[in-house]
């Protein structure tokens, strides 16, 4: 898992490894291990001063992202999952240019028009860079009130699916708002593992299923 | 109002001027007028192709932000309000370096730890650049279920206030989640004007009041 959000790296907190550090190995870096199967690289693992701001312009970000790809002893990987900040700026641009044969991009949106407008640009961005769009996932899609069980579409609902259709890209599903996700993220406990029967966890697993099928098709 | 979100300019949609364009006047640009009192500059007002991605690296962004300050016929202004994308990257860095005597920055966060962690970096960023922090506002702070009137802290609550205290910066208040804000944003109707008695509108107005008092004190 490679976190290329240079200014706001959240992955270490989400995995409860914020006090770990990337170690040096000769000229190279060793990723932080989480359990037996996950290797992680993030700016948030370069220093323990979590309040310090990384005040870097684009060229510096390009260099560090390049190092995160080329100077890390990743070893043999099944997948390299890259978490990018939103938008069409230096981080996604750098990674799209540095990767040699990326399988593609997964685009995350929320349902309201203001967010959809930005995400349409992200899809155009992928197309300009010949990066396949594997699909769109609609996050924060509806909220089930834990007191009265009514469904409230706080940020609307369905906008991501409609946009995916209009732009001709696969739709991977809707993840509802669940305060347990916020809790899980803040405490670094994997939500899907600990809340596996919740509607949100099912939506995550369904998205993975759709993605696996897409990959199989594309690789054959 | 200067929107320096180059990759995801939302201001034109929020003000329902997404089909307007900045016009040229000799070597300069004329801002788009909204009503009698508001002049607006945004990347979203440079072209009507709203799906096109702006694939620019940092130096290009610096140049366009410089032009938005120096080559726009702003005329006499009471305030220049600048809306920046989050983080500590090229856009906030460019504007902080280009402004000659900025009054300061208003920092917006949501309550959960993952967001607070990024915002602490933004405050460090302001301090590194000698940009005064006028205050922190906590957005998406609690949700009042419209069906059962229970308060649900979807993204937690109070984290922004606590962080402001810890970092020694003023706290400007909490804006609750209100689906009417989403609707207002998507249709370009100013929420505070059309929903002026809602708790969220009152929180916005309270924040302005605190800010006005701060400004008076700082300017004396």
Contact B59 A57 (CB under 8 A): yes
Per-residue pLDDT band at B212 (split at 50, 70, 90): confident
pLDDT in tens, A129-148: 999 999 999 999 999 999 99
Cα(B53)–Cα(A185) distance, integer angstroms = 30
Q: What is the ipTM of this complex?
A: 0.91
- Rounded to the nearest 5 degrees, what angle is found at the Cα of A170, between the Cα atoms of A168 and A176? 125
Report pLDDT for A219: 45
Inform me whether the pLDDT recorded for B217 exceeds 60.
Answer: no
- Contact status, residue A55 vs residue A26, Cβ threshold 8 Å: no
Residues 19-48 of B with CB under 8 A from A: none
Query: A155 in contact with B at a CB cutoff of 8 Å?
Result: yes
Per-residue pLDDT band at B215 (split at 50, 70, 90): low
Count of A–B CB contacts within 8 Å? 165
Query: B7 in contact with A at a CB cutoff of 8 Å?
Result: yes
- A94: which 2 tokens? 């750098």
Per-residue pLDDT band at B214 (split at 50, 70, 90): confident
Number of H helices, E strands in chain B: 8, 11
Contact B186 A52 (CB under 8 A): no
Residues 185-204 of A with CB under 8 A from B: 185-186
Q: How far is B124 from chain A (nearest CA, A)?
A: 6
Query: B16 in contact with A at a CB cutoff of 8 Å?
Result: no
Query: A114 in contact with B at a CB cutoff of 8 Å?
Result: yes
A140-178 burial, b for 16+ CB within 10 Å, e for fewer? bbbbebeeeeeebbbbbbebbbebbeebebbbbbbbbbb
Q: Give which of A131, A55, A58 is closest to B56, Cα–Cα.
A: A58
Average pLDDT value for residue range B75-104: 95
Query: For residue B170, what are the CA distances in angstroms to A53, A73, B102?
Result: 20, 45, 17
- A216: which 2 tokens? 């199989």
Report pLDDT for B220: 40
Report pLDDT for B219: 45
Report pLDDT for A212: 87
Query: What is the share, in percent, of chain B residues with pLDDT greater than 90?
Result: 95
Q: Which residues of chain A have pLDDT under 70?
A: 215-220
pTM of the full structure: 0.94
Query: B87 in contact with A at a CB cutoff of 8 Å?
Result: yes
Report pLDDT for A215: 60
Nearest CB to A53; choose among B85, B88, B156: B88
Cα(A2)–Cα(B180) distance, integer angstroms = 37
- Contact status, residue A211 vs residue A178, Cβ threshold 8 Å: no
Q: How far is A26 from chain B (nearest CA, A)?
A: 30
Cα(B86)–Cα(B83) distance, integer angstroms = 9
- Contact status, residue B78 vs residue B39, Cβ threshold 8 Å: no
Residue that the structure tokens 């001027």 belong to: B17
């Amino acid at each position: 898992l490679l976190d290329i959000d240079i200014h706001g790296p959240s992955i270490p907190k989400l995995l409860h490894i914020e006090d770990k550090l990337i170690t040096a190995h000769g000229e190279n870096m060793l990723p932080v291990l989480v359990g037996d199967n996950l290797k992680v690289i993030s700016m948030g693992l370069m220093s323990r001063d979590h309040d310090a701001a990384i005040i870097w312009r684009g060229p510096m970000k390009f260099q560090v992202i390049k190092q995160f790809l080329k100077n890390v002893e990743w070893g043999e990987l099944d997948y390299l999952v890259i978490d990018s900040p939103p938008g069409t700026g230096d981080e996604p641009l750098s990674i799209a240019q540095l990767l040699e044969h990326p399988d593609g991009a997964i685009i995350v949106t929320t349902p309201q028009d203001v967010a959809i407008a930005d995400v349409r640009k992200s899809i155009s961005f992928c197309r300009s860079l010949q990066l396949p769009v594997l699909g769109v996932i609609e996050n924060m899609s509806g909220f089930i009130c834990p007191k009265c069980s009514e469904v409230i579409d706080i940020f609307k609902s369905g906008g991501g699916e409609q946009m995916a259709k209009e732009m001709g890209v696969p739709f991977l599903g809707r993840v509802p708002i669940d305060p347990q996700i916020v809790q899980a993220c803040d405490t670094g406990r994997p939500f899907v593992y600990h809340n596996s029967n919740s509607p949100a966890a099912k939506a995550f697993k369904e998205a993975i299923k759709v993605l696996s099928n897409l990959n199989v098709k594309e690789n054959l």
